[in-house]
Structure 1
Amino acid sequence: MTSSNLFDLTGKVAIVTGASSGLGVQFAKALANAGANITIAARRIEKLEALKRELEEIGVKCLAVKCDVLIEDDVINVVERTVEEFGKLDILVNNAGTSSFAPAEDMTGEEWDKVLDTNLRGVFFFAKHAARKMKERNYGRIINIASMYGVIGNTQYPVSSYHASKGGEVNLTRALAGEWAQYGITVNAIGPGFFESEMTKDLISDDEFQNFIRSRCPMKRIGRPGEMDGLLIYLASDNSSYLTGQHICVDGGWAAV
């Protein structure tokens, strides 16, 4: 393989979860621009259909499948339909996630379970069913979208369930990398700092939040659209064939200080 095509994903097949908005849309477009055919999955099928049209205009094939990551049968359906449509599965981007703001002492069991089930259980079951297909071809790239909050705490916002789920996702990444390396499957995680998304759009416009960013982030800003694309494509490509079990923060230096 020459240096000119190390990041070319033409002919590869990817699944992106949580693809109805925010980072999921960004990741799907990045993979499509690199040449991958894509299955986009989320609960809101109307948003997926709109994104599907955009991706097909780029020149790739796209399958939109309604999916709730809390329902394992939905997860299985996405994986099976992808293989039926495209003949294989090369790349999984585990992006679906949620959060809950509540002081730890006031958090309900229902709130806790929803965050842990979405951010950790959903990631595990998608990885599990994707890996079963990838093992058949001795090849796969699994990319979990964790968080810088998977490796640090914070004093500004009460999101203990989010910290717990993302910390679990980081170590789950290591565990699965160890299990599946022998099958040619790499498992890595990206740890975003603050980027604009449906989950953060109201938060980031707040003056208090802006002061928080300027005082805490070395780069004194949130991430810009596309600033994770290069890492995503690297982890999805054959150029990362000897990298597995890693969690790489894209956070303006936040977790480093």
Structure 2
Amino acid sequence: MSNVLDTLNLTGKVALVTGGAGLYGRQIVAALAEAGATTYIASRGIEALEAVAQEERARGYDVRALPLDLGDQSSIDALVATIEAESDPCDILVNNAVTRNPEALWGGSMDAYDKALRVNASSLFYLTHLVSEAMKHRGSGSIINIGSMMGTVGVEPANYAGTNMHDNPSPLYFYEKGGMQNFSRWAASILGAHNIRVNCVAPGGFFTDQPAPFVAAYSERTQLGRMANTTDLKGIIVFLASDASAYITGANIPVDGGYTAK
């Protein structure tokens, strides 16, 4: 029987994180790299990703940046082919990237909605299927979808009182993140026979110097009394990516300080 700490070690594993330079993506990348995985990060913002990769390599970790346009199927194909040629097929996939089309507001056009859904939904299905096919041949894999607590609850207008922040965000984000939770359950049921686990992580609000009234109201709405920070997602990512969670699949795990438990 392995020591429990050994089961968290990702040495020899290959991970792909879509995005990787954003608020949560940055700590996801650091967590996987620190646990030992060769970690690929990919998005259209290749300059920002390369800066992240260089920073992690300076710390002694193997992080590599590659271009990816999630709206372009051929770009997804090229990314997966490059990773498989350079290393091995992915052991770990973290679907983290998201686009927020400022035109896809309530009352927006169908074209605006379609543009956002292509990146946030259609590419999710396509990339997950593509990576899972290689995982099937290995007989194992972990897929982690980064959702949001907004996929579980609606808008809380009281959080925005006394600020100039918008209390009526796009319905697409809520729709997509709610759908991601159930897609994770569906994919887990399809891929479980191949020992491929699929789980969804639902983070809460990240503190980025928002107006004081919002921070106070949001923090009071949680059970831990604060917003998320730069390390809060690291533990759950390594846990779900590793053999420590070998019997967990189809789960939606909130990492929101208890926001959705109230």
Q: TM-score with structure 2 length normalisation?
A: 0.89
**Could you tell me how far 1:105 is from its partner in structure 2?**
4.5
**Could you tell me how far 1:114 is from its partner in structure 2?**
3.3
2:63 matched to which residue of 1?
62
**Could you tell me how far 1:104 is from its partner in structure 2?**
6.1
Task: State the AA in 1 paired with 2:151.
Answer: G
Counterparts in 2 of 1:227-246, with a 5 A limit? 227-246=232-251
How many equivalent pairs are there? 251
Uncovered stretches (5+) of structure 1, i.e. residues with no partner? none
Paired with 1:95 and 1:209, the residues of 2 have a C-alpha distance of 25
Paired with 1:252 and 1:12, the residues of 2 have a C-alpha distance of 30
Matched, 1:111 2:112: yes
The partner residue of 1:176 within 174, 187, 192 is 187
Paired with 2:51 and 2:219, the residues of 1 have a C-alpha distance of 36
Percent identity over paired residues: 35
Matched, 1:223 2:234: no
1:128 matched to which residue of 2?
129
- Structure 2 SS opposite 1:22: coil
The 8 Å contact of residues 185 and 251 in structure 2, kept in 1 or not, is answered as: yes
2:19 matched to which residue of 1?
18
The 8 Å contact of residues 104 and 112 in structure 2, kept in 1 or not, is answered as: no
Paired with 2:88 and 2:55, the residues of 1 have a C-alpha distance of 23
The 8 Å contact of residues 144 and 201 in structure 2, kept in 1 or not, is answered as: yes
2:163 matched to which residue of 1?
none
Paired with 1:112 and 1:148, the residues of 2 have a C-alpha distance of 21
What do you get for the CA RMSD once the two structures are aligned? 1.9
1:209 matched to which residue of 2?
214
**Could you tell me how far 1:155 is from its partner in structure 2?**
3.4
Task: State the AA in 1 paired with 2:32.
Answer: L
Task: State the AA in 2 paired with 1:72.
Answer: Q
The alpha-carbon distance between structure 1 residues 103 and 187, as it changes in their structure 2 partners (threshold 3 A), is closer
Tell me whether 101-110 or 35-44 shows the greater mean CA deviation: 101-110
1:43 matched to which residue of 2?
44
Paired with 1:155 and 1:41, the residues of 2 have a C-alpha distance of 33
- Structure 2 SS opposite 1:189: strand
The 8 Å contact of residues 94 and 143 in structure 1, kept in 2 or not, is answered as: yes
The alpha-carbon distance between structure 1 residues 155 and 236, as it changes in their structure 2 partners (threshold 3 A), is same
Tell me whether 66-75 or 112-121 shows the greater mean CA deviation: 112-121
Paired with 2:18 and 2:10, the residues of 1 have a C-alpha distance of 18
The 8 Å contact of residues 100 and 161 in structure 1, kept in 2 or not, is answered as: no
- Structure 1 SS opposite 2:156: coil
Task: State the AA in 2 paired with 1:36.
Answer: A
Task: State the AA in 2 paired with 1:163.
Answer: F
Paired with 2:105 and 2:41, the residues of 1 have a C-alpha distance of 34
Tell me whether 153-162 or 24-33 shows the greater mean CA deviation: 153-162
**Could you tell me how far 1:103 is from its partner in structure 2?**
9.5
Task: State the AA in 2 paired with 1:87.
Answer: D
- Structure 2 SS opposite 1:6: helix
Which deviations, in whole Å up to 9, do the C-alpha atoms of 1:109-157 show, x marking residues without a partner?
A: 2332233222222222221111011111011100000111111111333
1:192 matched to which residue of 2?
203
**Could you tell me how far 1:102 is from its partner in structure 2?**
7.8
